[in-house]
A = this chain, B = another copy of it.
Amino acid sequence: MITRRDVMELGAGAALTLSAGGVLHAQPGSARSVGYAVVGLGKLSLGQILPALKATKNAHLAALVSGKPEKARKVAAQYGLPESAIYTYENFDSIAKNPAIQVVYVVLPNAMHADFTIRAFKAGKHVLCEKPMAVSLEECERMIAAGKAAKRQLMIAYRCQYEPVNVTAMQMMRKGAVGTPRLVNAVMGKQTDLSDPSDVWRLDRTMSGGGALADMGIYGINATRYLLAEEPVDVRGWARTDKSDPRFRTVDDMVAWQMRFPSGAIGEGSSCFSQPGTMAWQVVGSERRMVADPACFYGGNGIRILGGKNDPQPQIAEIDQFGNEMNWFADVIHGRAPNVSPGEEGLQDMRIMHAIMQSLAQGGQTVAIESSYRRAYDPATAVGIRTAV
Contact = CB atoms under 8 A, between A and B. Distances in A.
A282 B240 contact: no
Interface stretch (A82-90, A271-279, A344-352): A271-279
Contact of A286 (B275, B277, B306, B364): B275
A270 B282 CA distance: 12
Interface in A242-289: 242, 253-254, 256, 258, 260, 264-266, 268, 270, 272, 274-278, 282, 284-289
A253 B236 CA distance: 21
A42 interface: no
Given A240-B182, A240-B265, A366-B364, A276 B258 contact: no
B285 A275 contact: yes
A240 B264 contact: yes
Q: How many residues of A sit at the interface, in one of the four size bands?
A: 35 or more
A22 to B, nearest CB: 35
A314 interface: no
A185 interface: yes
A274 B183 CA distance: 11
A242 B266 CA distance: 13
A308 interface: yes
Nearest to A242: B264
A264 B272 CA distance: 13
Contact of A276 (B264, B276, B308): B308
A300 B265 CA distance: 29
Contacts of A253: 182
A343 interface: no
A185 B182 contact: no
A307 interface: yes
Given A256-B268, A363-B366, 5 more contacts: A240-B266, A254-B266, A258-B268, A275-B284, A275-B287
Interface of A: 182-183, 185, 187, 189, 236, 238, 240-242, 253-254, 256, 258, 260, 264-266, 268, 270, 272, 274-278, 282, 284-289, 291, 293, 306-308, 363-364, 366
